[in-house]
Amino acid sequence: MTGVATHCPYCALQCATTLHPVAKPGAVEVRPRQFPTNRGGLCRKGWTAPDVLTVPDRLTVPLVRNAAGELEETSWDAALDFVADRIKALQASHGRDAIAVFGGGGLTNEKAYALGKFARVALKTANVDYNGRFCMSSAAAATNRAFGIDRGLPFPLADLGGAGAVLLVGSNIAETMPPAVAHLQAAREAGGLLVVDPRRSATAGLTEENAGIHLQATPGTDLALVLALTHVVLQEGLADTAFLSERVDDPDVLIRSTASWWPERAERVTGVPAATIRQAARVLAAAAPVHGGAGAYILTGRGAEQHSKGTDTVTACINLALALGLPGRMGSGYGCITGQGNGQGGREHGQKADQLPGYRSIEDPAARSYVAQVWGVDPDELPRSGKSAVELIDSLGTAAGPKALFVHGSNLLVSAPNLASVRERLAALELLVVADVVPSETALLADVVFPVTQWAEEDGTMTSLEGRVLRRRAAVSAPGEVRSDLAVFAGIAERLGIDGFSTDPREVFEELRRASAGGKADYSGISWARLDAGEALFWPVPHEGHPGTPRLFADGFPTADGRAHVVPVDHRPVADDLSGDAPIYLVTGRLLQHYQSGAQTRRVPELAEAEPEVFAEIHPRVAAQLGIGDGRPVRLRTARGSMVLPARVTADVRPDTVFVPFHYGGAEAVNELTNDALDPVSRMPEFKACAVEVTAAVLGATGVPA
């Protein structure tokens, strides 16, 4: 059998696979196939992805909470009728914005588009945002203000294969997307892999044996480190002055904003030796085109972005790339490594609070008029910008806030920061509706649960970290009474008296094409037929004869003056910085075995057995001072809460740092402790660094922490 060609359901690498049905109903066997991103490889998550299709607790029928407070089975019509009636009543009493919608970066392009339209046309609410606000928003904000456009990688990932140097700031791709490591081989062989991370992560470990440099900075100081790297490039005459003069708006601003960040000053802030900073800057510069190098890239990930200064940190990385003349040059550039499976496409077509399809601003009169025409509504009826994710969550159930929330493709009770507050706000709602494939922590709190399709059961499109639009194809039928999220939107819209919501993903994509036409993320020239014919189409694709745009910026930047814009930035401490009571930084991150909130991977036996529980990585020196042995319980306490978990004593973390993975729920959810302080530009919360008190947990007589 040839199998059904599709892509892995997890990260934005979107590894290419074929699915082969097996004897068990609804089950498939997965095999990797050759593709430019994964080159025939898969990680453990990809190999075991089919297990999630047949997990024992798969949601297969709609559920409604009864008078006894229990979720019980019901019909689709009954569930949809109930939800529609509650929407009407709540909006009659409290106005249109009484209803809120929260989406996800794993939804197909068709679902993401339909969700944004559903919020604004069917519900007529401004209150819509999504979990990409937790993932990509800082990089998006930075690239938009510097380049005039946001596409995670403005070049194909395979371009990295010829680079002489790659600077990774806050990215652990060896665990989050292992097949991508193959693209770093040339840089490693040249000794040019540069990794900024407070841990000796799997990716930082790749720098050993003269393959590169691990810059093990103090948490929250990446911005200072990058400013120092740029200082060295400019002060040592390593910059591409011709590029700065011809393609950048104000090089003098760049020089002035980094002049005071000499490496010795940065060493005091970051803990990275001044000599190492100079060495890294010289290695990166030597690979740049201006010096005849093989090519250089600067890539950022969540470790740089999930801070209250994440936008500025990414901006500093962009400024460094501009100093070296990298953007728009073949074999060089700046890019952001998107995390979620459709983190790129999911933020382009209307899930964000301030956005319309095609990456248009909802405040732009021309954009409102055009999209309203596609949707067949009066542009004056479209809502304005709503609240960003954390601000939206904080408003739930308040006197002036939404009284109902729809959640599609997100598990807020694991993935959001400051979970005690999130739990309180969800409990204050009069109606919580969750569409999911399994009973996630958030679904278990819902008043109504809709069982929806997942990757191997649905058709649609996804957009990879490169901006490459891909086809997702169904290989098996969904079990029980499972339907698509599109059916939820259409069913409720119909009951509200609103037409124009199709349940056919191909029809939805055709409408998306029209709605995106002329926008920054223009999909109008992309069709399923072209994708099915094997074309690799990178947006923008403004008409059907257009070949796509694998590489941006070769002929200029889509800014008003055609130049890249320098935005001066400066270092500042984390919002919740160290104190006498909390003298260590807590950082969070991912594991090879798990994905996002873990709702899927914690249900896969092979993955769950490999990493069955949460843990805290603690440096041996700190463990000895506190009398904490390996595997023994340790208590972590921040200004927002506390938790007890086993210690994993390792020299892979700095002595001033504790690392905890965020894939676990309930009492193991580290986001009980993380800070919801927001970046002023992107509105991303500061997941990645906060002050924590670390103590040995005292066990009671029963072995339970006292």
Cα(323)–Cα(107) distance, integer angstroms:
37
Is residue 1 pLDDT above 70, yes or no? Answer: no
What's the confidence (pLDDT) of residue 702?
Answer: 57
Q: What integer pLDDT is reported at residue 126 of this predicted model?
A: 98
Domains, in order of start, for the chain: 4-54 (2.20.25.90), 63-133+344-538 (3.40.50.740), 137-336 (3.40.228.10), 584-696 (2.40.40.20)
pLDDT at 371: 98
pLDDT tens-digit map of 49-68:
999 999 999 999 999 999 99
pLDDT of res. 328: 96
pLDDT of residue 706: 62
Q: Is the pLDDT of residue 445 over 70?
A: yes
Start-end of H helices in 537-630: 605-610, 620-626
pLDDT at 392: 98
For residue 57, give both structure tokens.
């607790």
* pLDDT, tens digit (0-9, with 9 covering 90-100), for 155-183: 999 999 999 999 999 999 999 999 999 99
Give the residue from 659, 641, 674, 480 showing the smallest Cα distance to 73.
480
Q: What is the pLDDT of residues 616-670, one digit of tens each?
A: 999 999 999 999 999 999 999 999 999 999 999 999 999 999 999 999 999 999 9
- Residue 510's Cβ-count burial label (10 Å; 0-12, 13-18, 19+) is middle
Contact call for residues 90 and 430 (beta carbons, < 8 A): yes
Rounded average pLDDT over 18-31: 92
SS (H, E, C) 170-185: CCCHHHHCHHHHHHHH
Segment holding 514, helix H or strand E: helix 505-516
Give the span between the Cα atoms of 205 and 180, in whole angstroms: 15
Burial of 553 (0-12, 13-18, 19+ CB in 10 A): buried
pLDDT band with cut points at 50, 70 and 90 for residue 536: confident
Tell me what pLDDT residue 136 has. 86
- Could you tell me what percent of the chain has a pLDDT over 90? 96
Coil/strand/helix, residue 95 = coil
Mean pLDDT, the chain, integer: 96
Is residue 282 predicted with pLDDT exceeding 80? yes
For residue 27, what are the CA distances in angstroms to 24, 159, 273, 473, 513? 5, 36, 53, 15, 33
pLDDT at 700 over 90: no
User: Rounded to two decimals, what is the model's pTM?
Assistant: 0.96
Residue for token digits 């072209």?
530
For 304-364, give the DSSP string: HHSSTTHHHHHHHHHHHHHHTT-TTSTT-EEEE---STTTTGGGTSS-STTEETTTEETT-
